[in-house]
Structure 1
């Protein structure tokens, strides 16, 4: 194979585009990762199937239930509170796919944790601990109770 200046330039350009594309995907994923779903063997609380249960620690927790387009519902939950969300799986024609959390009184604070919305018929329980400066959120998916 004969290497010409034109072939070298085209090869370098194609390689550069591939590197930029892969790099952008890695950066986007690292900036907003979604934690893997964790399934609990314990059933959901009776009367709260298909809901999200969010328990806060010593700070305000902002819960963002969002669809693939980033639209959805944001709820600020006060310190030491448990909140049940009936909109976990969406409202109307919108289906939520991810729950994101931020800490503090500002609803647009940086996202500190993301968790996938489970399939219909399953609930998600999330507990926030730590401090507003160093928040920690842990979530798990539960099945509906046996009837």
Structure 2
């Protein structure tokens, strides 16, 4: 194969586009990572299997239970409040795959933490702490109640 200046320029351009596309995918993924699932030994509260238990800290915590298309439900939880969600695993034809959290009263605020929805039969326990300016959310997949 004979290498000409034109062929080298075209090859470099194609390679550059491929690198840019991969880089954009990595940046988009890094901007909204989903934390790895953490399974605890704590059983879910009796009567709340298959539910999400969300406890807000000193600020309003908005919980977004979403499917792969980003569709789902959002619920704002007042400060120092615990909320049990019966729609953790979805409702009807919609199957939720991720739970995302934002801090403050703006439901469209930036996502501060994401966690995968556990398998059916398991519950999810999440606790928010920190401040609205520096929120922290910790989640743990809980075993079925005994």
TM-score (norm 2): 0.96
- Structure 2 counterpart of 1:68: 68
- Structure 1 counterpart of 2:26: 26
Is it true that 1:81 corresponds to 2:58 in the alignment?
Answer: no
- Structure 1 counterpart of 2:57: 57
The root-mean-square deviation of aligned C-alpha atoms, in Å, is: 0.9
- Structure 2 counterpart of 1:114: 114
C-alpha distance in structure 1 between counterparts of 2:98 and 2:75, whole Å: 14
Offset of residue 143 of structure 1 = 1.6
Is it true that 1:90 corresponds to 2:123 in the alignment?
Answer: no
- Structure 1 counterpart of 2:144: 144
- Structure 1's consecutive aligned runs of 4 or more residues displaced over 2 angstroms after TM superposition are none
- Structure 2 counterpart of 1:7: 7
Equivalent position SS for 1:40: strand
Equivalent position SS for 2:40: coil
Offset of residue 2 of structure 1 = 2.7
C-alpha distance in structure 1 between counterparts of 2:42 and 2:9, whole Å: 60
- Structure 2 counterpart of 1:125: 125
Equivalent position SS for 2:76: strand
